[in-house]
Structure 1
Amino acid sequence: MRKRILALAAALALAAPAAFAWTEPPRGSALRADLMDAARPLAERVLGAPIEFVVHDLRVEGDVAFAALVAQRPGGAPIDMLATPGYRRGEIDPQFMDGSTLQVLYRRSGRQWVAVEHAIGATDAWYADPVFCPIWAPVLPGDFCPGSPPMK
């Protein structure tokens, strides 16, 4: 009986969807630093430097990754959105955005991570567009794509 239960458990584990295979790189890891470094220039262009990130969600599976971040000044100071380069250039309007939030879709190119798509201050889940499913479904939160892992 015990062998049968163990065999069933092993079969169920093998049948589990691969969508749950993503991992979150631990703090201090080179992978996590590489992902943050790929997003930093995008945030600094709009929000100004220096930037550090609070990570809300970070998912990596193979050569793709997803990040949901909040940009802040070093030490945790909030960003004054009205004093940012993006605001001065007319690229952002703090009244119509979700602060300094940032979502990023990455792909690995050789040994380097590239932020392929991103949004700062998005008020919707732009990454829910089915166009992103063929590549990023394994790391997208929610049930936007068949086989996507659930949100935390």
Structure 2
Amino acid sequence: MNPRRKKRMLTVFAVILGIGSAVGLTLYALQENINLFYTPSELVNGKGPEQEKPSIGQKLRIGGMVVPGSVVRDESSLDVEFKLIDTGPLVTIRYKGILPDLFREGQGIVAQGTLIESDVIEAFEVLAKHDEEYMPSEVAEAVKGIKHEKPKYNLNSEN
């Protein structure tokens, strides 16, 4: 092989190796910051055709309607616990902090946090809808048609 060709081939190989390394390191760095959106039903039953469930410790976003009568506030701290529903099972959200002014029972919210049990999320951010007409598109699609239906749940059960 001629020295000029050999030098060109080594240069091309080095550039491809450099680009591959940069892409790999970028994806590795972003891996922890990926927050997938789930509804309560998708969280409990799985998402997609493979019914994939998030793993414990995974960061995620969840959207649904706050179950009326489920908001429990700790009197000695800023801890709040409430339940979310879409069309299926309930999911418990635990949050430490001041909830948004627009947060109400029976309203759509999006919480961002970490999955600590299969149906319990430790939230670090809770977002409430802006007004009667606004709802995040992901939540609106997930809870389409349940706004006027009475959800079937029992707050006294352990679920």
TM-score relative to the length of structure 1: 0.34
Answer 1 or 2: which has greater helix percent: 1
TM-score relative to the length of structure 2: 0.32
Query: Which of structures 1 and 2 has the bigger CA Rg?
Result: 2
